[in-house]
Amino acid sequence: MEEISSKGKLFVISGPSGAGKGTIIKELIKQIDVELSVSATTRKPRPGEIHGKSYYFVGMDKFREMIRRGEFLEYAKVYENFYGTPKTKVLEKLDEGHDVILEIDIQGAMKVKKVFPKGVFIFILPPSMAELRRRITGRGSETKEVIDLRMSKTLGEIAYVDQYDYCVINGQIQEAVNRVKAIVIAEHSKVSSDIQGILDEFEEEK
Amino acid sequence: MEEISSKGKLFVISGPSGAGKGTIIKELIKQIDVELSVSATTRKPRPGEIHGKSYYFVGMDKFREMIRRGEFLEYAKVYENFYGTPKTKVLEKLDEGHDVILEIDIQGAMKVKKVFPKGVFIFILPPSMAELRRRITGRGSETKEVIDLRMSKTLGEIAYVDQYDYCVINGQIQEAVNRVKAIVIAEHSKVSSDIQGILDEFEEEK
Q: What is the pLDDT of residues B28-44, one digit of tens each?
A: 999 999 999 999 999 99
**Low-confidence residues of chain B: pLDDT under 70:** 1-6, 139-140, 193-206
Q: Looking at residues A28-38, what average pLDDT do you find?
A: 94
pLDDT confidence of residue A124: 95
What are the φ/ψ torsions at residue A52 (nearest 5 degrees)?
A: 90, -10
Report the phi/psi class of residue A182: left, alpha or beta, with left for phi > 0 and alpha for psi in -120 to 50. Answer: alpha
Chain segment B145-166, per-residue pLDDT in tens: 888 888 888 888 888 999 999 9
pLDDT confidence of residue B132: 79
**B144 exposure class (CB count in 10 Å sphere: 0-12, 13-18, 19+):** exposed
Lowest mean pLDDT among A67-76, A151-160, B95-104, B109-118: A151-160
Nearest residue, CB atoms, B195 vs list A162, A186, A206 = A162
Chain A residues with CB-CB distance to B165 below 8 A: 190-191
Percentage of residues in chain A with pLDDT exceeding 90? 68
Nearest residue, CB atoms, A128 vs list B172, B185, B206 = B206
Chain B residues with CB-CB distance to A186 below 8 A: 166, 179, 182-183, 185-187
Strand order in the sheet with A120-125: A34-36, A99-103, A10-14, A120-125, A166-169
pLDDT band at A193 (very low <50, low <70, confident <90, very high): low
- Asked whether the predicted pLDDT for residue A203 surpasses 70, the reply is no
pLDDT confidence of residue B39: 95
Residues ≥6 apart with Cβ < 8 Å to A191: A198, B123, B161, B162, B164, B165, B166, B167
